[in-house]
Chains A and B, each alone.
Chain A
Amino acid sequence: MTPTLVGRIQTRLFLLATVGLGWTILISPILVQQDGSVGRVYAITISAVFLTAVFGVGWELLYHALQQYRWEKDWPILYSLVVAFPEGFLVWISVLVIFFGSPPPFLVFWFHFLSTWSLVWLVAVGPIKVLLPRWRYQGGRIVEK
C-alpha cells in the first residue's frame, strides 16, 4: 500500500465502520460466556472497535511519520498486520480501565480484536479496490479529492 495520511485515516474509519462493525455485530453473540449477557459482550466489542478508530487517528500519524523514512514511501502489508499487536494492547488496556471492576474476558477481547483486524486487513489488501476502483491511485482516500 502507498497511503497518504488523509487516505490512511479515511480507509481506517471507513473499514472499521463497515467491515469492522458488521463483523462485530455478527460474532458478538457467539462470544457470550456462560454467566455473561449479550449486552455486555456488545459493550466490550463495540468499545474496542470505537477505540481502535479513535486511537487509530493517532497511530496513523505515527505510521505516516515512520513512512517518511522509507524511500518507497509505502507501507508494507506485513507492517499493517504486525501493528495489530501494539494497537490491540493499547485498546486492551483502555477496555480494562473502562470496565474496571468487571474486566472483560481475555479470550473474548483478543478473539474479537484480532479477527476484526484480520478481516479489515484482508479487505484492504484486495476487495476494497473492486468497490472503489480509484482508491489505490489516491493514497487510500475514500472521499475523492
Chain B
Amino acid sequence: MTADRSGELTPQLIETGTWSDELVSRTLPIVDVPFVSIGGGLGSLAAVDLLRIAGLRTDDIRVVTTIDRPHQTYRLLAENSQIPVEERIRSDASSTIDNIWGFPSYATREAMSAKGLANKIAPLRHVLVEPVLDDYYTPTAGQVYSSVDAEANRIGWNKMLLKGVVRMVRRRVGGGYFTVYTPKAGQDPTHGGTKRVAVRSRHVHIAVGYPGVRFLPDLQKYRKTHKDFSRVVNAYENHDYVYEELRRRPSTVMVRGSGIVASRILVRLLDDREKRGANTTVIHLFRNYVREPQGDRATFRRDGRNGFAYQGFNYPKAAWGGQLKEQLESLDGDARKDLIGRLGGTNTPHRRAWDDQLERGRHGGWYRQFEGQVQSVAPGQDQTVQTTVADRAGRTIQLEANFIVDATGLESDISEHRVLADLLDYGGAGRNPLGRLDVEPSFEVRGTRSEPGRMYASGSIALGGYYAGVDSFLGLQYAALRIHDDLASAGFGTRLGSMRSVKEWWRWMRQQPVP
C-alpha cells in the first residue's frame, strides 16, 4: 500500500480502537510532540501554564484549538449571557487563572493599578471584610482578559498552537496517543495541504469546554414545533436583538431559571428599563421558589429567600480546598453525586445592588415572580408566546410574553461532542455518576491509559468526579496541578517544589517570559 498522506480517515482507522504507527502513516501525516492539550480555552491555559512553570519547554507542548486567545470562548459565552468587560464575574479574588499561586490576587492588582487613594483602598477593604460585612469581591471580566493575554504571551502560547478542529483521540500500539485534527486552511503544520493530521504524543489533556447549549424540554419542543427560534432564546447564545427590540417597543419578557445567568439577564433587562428607556415588564418564572434557607441542619444551611438560593460561588468555598473538598474526595457513586447536588444545584451570589434592583421592580410592578410547573408553551396573540403553568395550588395560569429567555443550562450530554463520543466508543473511557467523563483524583480519564502515556480531562466534561469545582478557574488550576504531579510521578517533568515555585513566582512578578 502506498502512503498517500491525503489525510483520509479510512474505515479501517475508524474501526480500529488502537492504532499502529504503520496503519496511521498510510494516510495521515504524523507530527510528534510529548504533550498535547485539546481545546485551547482556559482549561488548556491552566494546564499548560503550570507545566511551563514547572519546567517544560514550548517544544514539549502543543495545544490544538480553534481559537486564538485562551479567553475567547469564555468571553463569547460571558458576553452573550450579559457579562460585559466592565462587569464583575463570579469567582473570587484569588481564583487568578493567569497566576498559579493566587497571589497577588485580583483585588491586590486592582488596587495597585488604580488611580487615586480611594480607588486603591476600595478593593483591599473589600477583600478584608468579605463575606462578612460585604458580598464577595470579584474581579472585572476585563481584568481577567488582559491578565490572561499577558500570561499567554509570557509562556509563549502562540508558539504552541496547532489551529484546527480535533476529530478524535485514539490509543497507539506501543503507548501514547494519536490526536487527529483538521488543520485550519493554510495552517497545516506539515505543509502538505492535507485534510487531516495525526499528532503522536505520549500524553493528552482534554479541555474542550461545554459540549453545547441545552434548552428546557418544553422550550425545545416549542422551538421545533413552531419553527420559532427568535422569540425563545437561550441566554448563552447571542440574543442582543432581543434587547434592541425591547428598547423599541413596550414588551414583556419571561425569564426561566434562577441561577447566576438568570440574575445577569435580569440585571440587563432592568438596567435597560431604569437607565436606557426600555419599557419592559419582566415575568420571572421559577420552578422551585426558594422562600427560606435550605438545609435541615444548622451546620448545613444555605441562605435563601425571594426565590433564590444564595451562595458566593457555584459551590461552597470549601469545596475548592477545605473540608468539603476532602469529604468529596472520599466519596464514590451516588454518595458523591448526592453531595455535589446538595452543595451546588441552582444558586446565585447575593449582591446588594441586584437585590435592590429587584425590589424596585417588584414595587414598580415591572418585575413579577411566578412559581409553577410548565404545562405547555404555544404561540399566543400578537406575536407572543403563551406559557401555561400549574401553580403550587394546582391552578392553571397563562403567561404571555414577547420573548422567553432560557437561563437554565449550558450542559448537554458529553456524547454530543464528537471527540468525547469517540472516547466512550473506542477509547475505553466511561461515565461518572453525573454522566460525564469518569476521572481519577489525578484527573486521568479512567480506562484510557496507554502506557507510558496518560490521558487527562478537566472542565465541565469532568464534573461529577472527586472535585466539585472542576469547571471553574480555580478548579482548572487545581486539575493542572494534579495532572502535573501525576505526570511528574510518571517521570514526565520534575515536580514543582518550593524553590522553583518561588523563583518562578518572582519571574511572574517581573512579567518575564518563561524560558
Contact = CB atoms under 8 A, between A and B. Distances in A.
B498 A71 contact: no
B318 A74 contact: yes
B365 interface: no
Contacts of B302: 71
Interface in A107-134: 126-127, 129-134
Contact of B322 (A2, A79, A129): A2
A interface residue count range (under 10 / 10 to 19 / 20 to 34 / 35 or more): 20 to 34
A69 B317 contact: no
Contacts of A81: 128
Contacts of A69: 298-299
A19 B513 CA distance: 31
A104 to B, nearest CB: 31
Interface in B478-509: 478, 481, 496, 498, 501-502, 505
A137 B303 contact: no
B131 A72 contact: yes
Counting chain B CB atoms within 10 Å of each CB, which of A2, A126, A133, A138 scores highest? A133
B502 A131 contact: yes
Contacts of B104: 126
Contact of A78 (B128, B321, B326): B128
A73 interface: yes
B321 A138 contact: yes
Contact of B132 (A2, A3, A76, A130): A76
Nearest to A134: B481
Contact of B501 (A4, A71, A133): A133
A73 B316 contact: yes
Nearest to B324: A73
Contact of A130 (B298, B320, B478, B502): B502
Most chain B beta-carbon neighbours within 10 Å: one of A67, A73, A139 = A73
A77 interface: yes
Contact of B481 (A74, A127, A133): A133
A129 B103 contact: yes
A2 B321 CA distance: 6
Contacts of B317: 2, 72-74
Contacts of B496: 133
Interface in B78-125: 94, 100-105, 108
Interface in B265-318: 295, 298-303, 311-312, 316-318
Contact of A76 (B94, B130, B478): B130
A1 B321 CA distance: 9
A80 B141 CA distance: 29
Contact of B100 (A74, A132, A133): A133
Contact of A71 (B103, B311, B481): B311
A68 interface: yes
B368 interface: no
Contacts of A72: 131, 311-312, 316-318
Given A68-B299, A72-B131, A136 B323 contact: no
B207 to A, nearest CB: 18
B167 interface: no
A132 B502 CA distance: 9
A73 to B, nearest CB: 3
Nearest to A136: B321
B185 interface: no
Contacts of A3: 322
Nearest to B322: A2
Interface string A71-98: 1111011110100000000000000000
B322 A74 contact: yes
A42 to B, nearest CB: 30
B485 to A, nearest CB: 8
Contact of A127 (B103, B316, B322): B103
Nearest to A76: B132
Given A2-B323, A132-B501, A137-B320, 11 more contacts: A3-B322, A72-B318, A73-B316, A78-B133, A126-B105, A127-B103, A132-B498, A133-B496, A137-B481, A139-B322, A139-B323
Interface of B: 94, 100-105, 108, 127-133, 295, 298-303, 311-312, 316-318, 320-326, 478, 481, 496, 498, 501-502, 505
18 contacts: A4-B322, A67-B323, A69-B298, A72-B131, A72-B317, A73-B317, A73-B318, A73-B322, A74-B317, A74-B318, A78-B130, A81-B128, A129-B101, A130-B502, A130-B505, A131-B498, A133-B496, A137-B320
**Which 8 pairs across A and B sit closest by C-beta, in order of nearness?**
A2-B322, A73-B318, A72-B317, A74-B317, A2-B318, A126-B103, A68-B299, A137-B321
